Amino acid sequence: MLMCRDLAMIASDYIDGELNTAGKLSVKMHLMMCGNCRSFIGNLRASTELMKAHTSGTVDEEFVRRVDERVAEALEAKGRGNDQT
């Protein structure tokens, strides 16, 4: 069973589509049960897309910084969730 911290480690590979089928499946199963990781993946995906857009010079840096803050908040919320269980 995939844990939240395992998911955090492979999240960027998942978003980039670099996981094998078994890896993708375990991430999806975890996301079905874990709202914290769903929002974490959502934030990470948004910031990944922003970074790609940023490479092509279409994103303003202040916006990217705000997204980064949101990702950090999501990670903190996830940590608190772990403490409660």
Residues of this chain that bind Zn ion (CB under 5 A): 4, 34, 37
Query: Exposure of 45 by Cβ count < 10 A (0-12 exposed, 13-18 middle, 19+ buried)?
Result: middle
Nearer to Zn ion, 11 or 37 (CB): 37
Q: Contact, 19 vs 12, CB < 8 A? A: no
Nearer to Zn ion, 4 or 11 (CB): 4
What's the min distance (Å) between Cβ of 4 and Zn ion? 3
CA dihedral 37, 34, 38, 36 (to 10 degrees): -50
Nearer to Zn ion, 19 or 59 (CB): 19
What's the min distance (Å) between Cβ of 19 and Zn ion? 16
* 73 vs 14: CA distance, rounded Å: 20
What's the min distance (Å) between Cβ of 84 and Zn ion? 13
